[in-house]
Structure formats: structure tokens, C-alpha cells
Amino acid sequence: MPRVRVHQHVNPLSPFYRFTPQPIEIIKIFASPQLPIHLDIGCARGRFILKMAEMFPDCNFLGVEIREPLVAEGNRLARESNLTNLHYEFNNATYSLDKLLENLPADVLHAVTIQFPDPWYKKKHAKRRMVNDDLVETIVKHLKFDGKIFVQTDVDFLAEEMFEIFRENQNLSEIEISKNPFPIKTERETAVEEKELPIYRAMFIK
């Protein structure tokens, strides 16, 4: 089946994307809801968590993405691959991730990844960037004690900006890392590595 065609970017501030989602019920989306959850925010086509879900059957993987057709495609692939530990949700993480995770038990979210979020280079578009104080607060609120957050980007100013927001959070400590701790690379990571461009990475623990 051909890949779904989507807009390269969507504006998360536009009214269409400022909707209130139904909170997820893990009992409905995962076959074994008691397993720890890895949340990948801005997962695009979701191949990173698809491969992770195959490799780690003892973990549930939840992808959140603002471009709805990619979510439908991801869930179709999960079904076709018989992966009952993988699910994608249409969500504007900057606006309504907290609502989406409202019913999540306190001790299940053990890992969060944010990988190569859109940089929105122009100053006038800075408000469209995904990582802001509210998003970090939301992640920290739902992350279990000793849960980890991994963030990576190839854009230097964005790395500085995002890492600073995480560093300022009193409930997080930074863990030094020298490489990507995960065995799978995202599509964007592979593309950046092929061009031999630098990648900035940071990891935090609650």
C-alpha cells in the first residue's frame, strides 16, 4: 500500500488543531494494560515505536501525532502486524496532551521521547514549537517516579531552548548520555546521520 500523503507541516495554533480529545483508556487500546508505557510525541509515521513494539513486547508504545492521516496509517500497520502493544493517537501535544493522558494510572508512563520536533525557524513562529513550559509540566505530571525523557534534534538553537526548559524543571535531573540510548533510529535521525550532521541529545529522569 502506498504511503499516505500529508502536509509537511501543520500549524498547531490554528483552531482546527485546538480540540479537546477524549482521554485514552489503556484498557481499550492495549492488550496488556498493566505494562509500562513508552510515549513518543510527534511520532510522524511512527516507525520508531513500531519497531520498538516488535522488539520489546513487555512494553506498551503510544505515539502522539498532529497529522491525523499518519495516525490512521500507524494504527492500520499495528493491526496488520498484530502488535497489541502499539497504538497511535491524533493529538496536538502542545495544546491537549494533558487531557489525553488524564486517566492514565500514575505509575505506568516510564519513558517519553521527543525526537526532531519541527524547529519553526522564524521568530514569529516560535509559539508553534512543541516543547514549552506547559508541555514539560504535563510530561512530568504523568511520568512515573524514575521515568525517563529523551530529547534529540539536529537544530542547535532548538536544542538549547528545549533542554533549558527541561533543566529548569525542579522535578527532573539530567542524565549524561553520549549516544542515543535506544536501539532504533527514527526516520529523521537516519536522514540526519546520512548527511553527517550533528545531533544534540539530552536525557532527564524524574
Ligand X SMILES: C[S@@+](CC[C@H](N)C(=O)[O-])C[C@H]1O[C@@H](n2cnc3c(N)ncnc32)[C@H](O)[C@@H]1O
Q: Which stretch binds ligand X (CB under 6 A): 40-48, 73-81, 142-150, 166-174?
A: 40-48
Residue 32 vs 190, nearer CB to ligand X: 190
CB of 34 to ligand X, least distance (A): 26
Determine if 116 is a binding residue for ligand X (CB under 6 A): yes
Given candidates 35, 66, 111, 112, which one binds ligand X under the rule CB under 6 A? 66
Residue 117 vs 147, nearer CB to ligand X: 117
Residue 78 vs 93, nearer CB to ligand X: 93
Determine if 64 is a binding residue for ligand X (CB under 6 A): yes
**Alpha-carbon distance 90 to 72, whole Å?**
8
Reading across the β-sheet that carries 86-90, which strands appear in turn? Answer: 86-90, 60-65, 37-41, 109-115, 143-153, 200-205, 173-175
Given candidates 73, 89, 118, 154, which one binds ligand X under the rule CB under 6 A? 118
Three-class HEC string of 46-106: CHHHHHHHHHCCCCEEEEEECCHHHHHHHHHHHHHCCCCCEEEEECCHHHHHHHHCCCCCC
**Alpha-carbon distance 44 to 4, whole Å?**
11
Binding flags for ligand X, 155-194, as an x/- string (CB under 6 A): -------------------------------xxxx-----
Integer CA distances (angstroms), 34 to 25, 91, 104, in order: 12, 23, 11
Identify the active-site residue in 98, 107, 118, 133. 118
Let me know if 118 is a catalytic residue. yes
Those residues whose C-beta lies under 8 Å from the C-beta of residue 171, and which sit 6 or more positions away, are 140, 206
Determine if 115 is a binding residue for ligand X (CB under 6 A): yes
CB of 101 to ligand X, least distance (A): 13
**Alpha-carbon distance 139 to 136, whole Å?**
5
Stretch 121-140 residues interacting with ligand X (CB under 6 A): 130
Q: Which residues bind ligand X (CB under 6 A)?
A: 12, 42-44, 64-67, 91-94, 115-118, 130, 186-189
